[in-house]
Structure 1
Amino acid sequence: MGPASLKDVARTAGVSVTTVSRFLNGSLELPDRTRELIEAAIRELNYVPNPHARRLSLGRSDTIGLVVPDIATPFFATLVASVEAEADRRGLALALYATLNRAGRERSYLTAIHRNHVDGIIFITNHPDDGALAEAINRSGRVVVLDEDVPGTSVPKLFCDNEMGGYLAGRHLAEAGHRDVLFVGGVDEMISGARRFAGFRRATAEVWGPDARITRFAGEYTVAFGRAAGVRFLAEARSCTAIFATSDELTIGILEVLRENGVSVPRDVSVVGFDDVGPLHLFSPGITAIRQPVRELGARALSLLLEPDPAMTGSPREELLPVTLMERDSVAPPLR
């Protein structure tokens, strides 16, 4: 015979299942005699309430959803770990949804809120939106958009200071003597691509004015695109004396191509990366990079989600966390 159910308790006590359920979740005051009958039935049957069912009866699951494009890269793996640690500290469970960066999968996972599977979602995308994703997020209610923007959403948003990251990289390279530089990053339709490029361009113009020259290769934040950018650099942009690669994956892909072709860093070309989640300090030479506060992003995103009313009216709330320039050995004055 299996464990006693709520229905067993109700039958033994001579009351309805709804009465037992509401009594157990604290939403119903009962006469002393009825309360004593229910408590006696619970003792007799050794009934143990199902905490998940009880939470659902109160309209919550005590579970937070985290939607990410990928879990294989160091950036997203670290972000997932930071949200998991913060959820554990708060006594919450975490449901992880990996979308493979596909819009259809993203929209389907947002329905988890409506089905009471999760109480809210921290949502990360890594591609431009045609409006359908923004509409789905706005319908979902309790969502925080993290890392990349989904334009048109009226929910809290949390990003690193992308514009300042680009500025710090550009200023560092310009002050080292580089005025002909290659920017490898995201497209303008992505907030990271647009803002990092804007900051980078502003910094180089401050130092070099009209003499500053930036070549830009835009694409996905992947090792594959980093390798493609490295090949293009060798074929089309050898006049550039420095490269700003705006993710760990891009940096790794570019460095692989440079090494395979005997291009020395920083003797032949200087390199600055972005994210600094992967072990860039272990490379030879160590790679100078803009460090994102990835662990802080994860913890803060969960805090935002748990605030009393994260749904916003009017302009969405946007919060930025600061970035840091980590100087190592991959930048030197240009030989030419």
Structure 2
Amino acid sequence: MPTMDDVARLAGVSVSTVSHVLNGTRNVNPATRQRVDAAIVEIGYRRNVVARSLAAGRTHTVGLSIAALTNPYFGSLVHAVEERLSEAGYVLILGDSHDEPRSERRVTDSLLDRQVDGMILAPAAGSEFSTIPEIVRSGTPLVLIDRMLDVSCDQVGPENDASAYELTTHLLDAGHRRIAIVRGIEGISSTTERFDGYTRALADRGVELDPRLILDGRSNVEVAESRVRELMSGPDRPSALVSMNNSMTIGSLKAVRGLGLSIPADLAFVCYDDFEWSDLFEPRLTAAAQDVQTIGRTAADLVLRRIEGHEDEPRSIRVPTTFTHRNSCGCTAPRADMPAAPER
């Protein structure tokens, strides 16, 4: 592997001059700089960033553990986090937790072994009992993203309860009473909060909760498709459906289409999470849209503050969703986009 000595010998300069060129620590004559740059290219020299990082006590990396490959929404979230970290001179190291505790622990242990300067975590079910304590013990700055827990660290995520409440109330206002729900992974805070919003809306209107209309879609396209197909194939199917994330929305739409049914003629449909292509096909989805850019960049800002040494009280930030009224709910007079109602 080429060294700085090799570069200096080829360029005909001292090792300290090569160092100044690489690190920008002193002005170097343009002709000399050009010779050093040419030597670096010719022999393929690369700086030992690991050694420099160890000496400085910083790696300028941040770890992110998230179910990036199994949920389309998380892909946009990862992009927003990476963009902000890159602006600050940090590199993002991504590990896919698959929303499974053992996979999550394997990912976070590997990130800690790599001496990341900070960690951002979309916690899997039970993370507060295993993964999070281990990160805290390591002293690595930690920020939770998307899912909020009763733990002492910075957190940022979307508003869930009031958004699900508004989606369900919208269907109730349209006269629906048999409203089914496809909910996400059990034990995850976002699943619990969105389900609470749904049940609260029914209770406020005096509509009894029907267990037969509660579908566990596990935040999975295939599982949601199977559950919705089974429900909609029965004799007493609902008149409306609320899907609680975009993976399950895809599965739900596949099930309805596979049965030859039409939205909204046969089933009014609303969903949590929006798609950038929602206005490009029929039905156009009535949805609670998350501000993914704000959530991702805020998480990055929070972890950067901790890396810089800020020791103020942990912050918990809820980012409002936006209610976007299209035609999948079957209404004839769409409202303008508006923020979801504040959480009660």
- Amino acid aligned to 2:317: E
Aligned partners of 1:315, 1:304: CA distance in 2, in Å?
12
* TM-fit CA distance, 1:50: 3.6
2:206 aligned to which of 183, 205, 209? 209
Number of matched residues? 306
- Amino acid aligned to 2:267: V
In the alignment, is the contact (CA less than 8 A) between 1:65 and 1:120 conserved in 2? yes
CA gap of 1:241–1:125, structure 2 versus 1, over 3 A, is same
* TM-fit CA distance, 1:154: 2.5
In the alignment, is the contact (CA less than 8 A) between 2:62 and 2:93 conserved in 1? yes
* TM-fit CA distance, 1:161: 0.5
**What is aligned with 1:103?**
101
In the alignment, is the contact (CA less than 8 A) between 1:246 and 1:273 conserved in 2? yes
2:206 is paired with a residue whose SS is helix
1:2 is paired with a residue whose SS is coil
Deviation larger for 104-113 or 164-173: 104-113
* TM-fit CA distance, 1:327: 0.8
Aligned partners of 1:219, 1:312: CA distance in 2, in Å?
40
Matching of residue 82 in structure 1 with residue 101 in structure 2: no
Aligned partners of 1:237, 1:155: CA distance in 2, in Å?
49
**What is aligned with 2:187?**
189
TM-score by length of 1: 0.78
In the alignment, is the contact (CA less than 8 A) between 1:75 and 1:278 conserved in 2? no
**What is aligned with 2:278?**
280
**What is aligned with 2:28?**
none
1:244 is paired with a residue whose SS is strand
**What is aligned with 1:325?**
323
* TM-fit CA distance, 1:99: 2.7
Aligned partners of 1:116, 1:247: CA distance in 2, in Å?
33
* TM-fit CA distance, 1:163: 0.7
Aligned partners of 1:184, 1:174: CA distance in 2, in Å?
17
CA gap of 1:66–1:173, structure 2 versus 1, over 3 A, is same
In the alignment, is the contact (CA less than 8 A) between 1:304 and 1:310 conserved in 2? no
- Amino acid aligned to 1:296: T
Aligned partners of 1:258, 1:114: CA distance in 2, in Å?
44
User: Superposition pairs for residues 203-282 of structure 1, below 5 Å?
Assistant: 203-206=201-204, 208-210=205-207, 215-236=213-234, 238-277=236-275, 279-282=277-280
- Amino acid aligned to 1:204: L
2:263 is paired with a residue whose SS is coil
TM-score by length of 2: 0.76
In the alignment, is the contact (CA less than 8 A) between 1:155 and 1:310 conserved in 2? no
CA RMSD, 1 decimal: 3.6
In the alignment, is the contact (CA less than 8 A) between 1:69 and 1:125 conserved in 2? no
Deviation larger for 46-55 or 248-257: 46-55
Aligned partners of 2:64, 2:105: CA distance in 1, in Å?
13
In the alignment, is the contact (CA less than 8 A) between 1:74 and 1:277 conserved in 2? no
Q: Deviations over 1:119-144 (max 9, x none)?
A: 11111234444822232233243111
In the alignment, is the contact (CA less than 8 A) between 1:156 and 1:311 conserved in 2? no
| Structure 2: runs of 5 or more not aligned | 26-32, 41-45, 332-344
Aligned partners of 1:231, 1:128: CA distance in 2, in Å?
30
2:171 is paired with a residue whose SS is helix
Deviation larger for 102-111 or 172-181: 102-111
2:180 is paired with a residue whose SS is strand
In the alignment, is the contact (CA less than 8 A) between 2:58 and 2:117 conserved in 1? yes
**What is aligned with 2:3?**
3
1:273 is paired with a residue whose SS is strand
* TM-fit CA distance, 1:172: 1.0
Q: Deviations over 1:34-82 (max 9, x none)?
A: xxxxxxxxx9xx7999472323311111111111123354211111111
* TM-fit CA distance, 1:278: 5.6
**What is aligned with 2:141?**
142
- Amino acid aligned to 1:144: V
* TM-fit CA distance, 1:286: 0.5
Aligned partners of 1:294, 1:205: CA distance in 2, in Å?
30
**What is aligned with 2:337?**
none
- Amino acid aligned to 1:280: S
- Amino acid aligned to 2:146: D
In the alignment, is the contact (CA less than 8 A) between 2:61 and 2:116 conserved in 1? yes
Aligned partners of 1:106, 1:300: CA distance in 2, in Å?
22
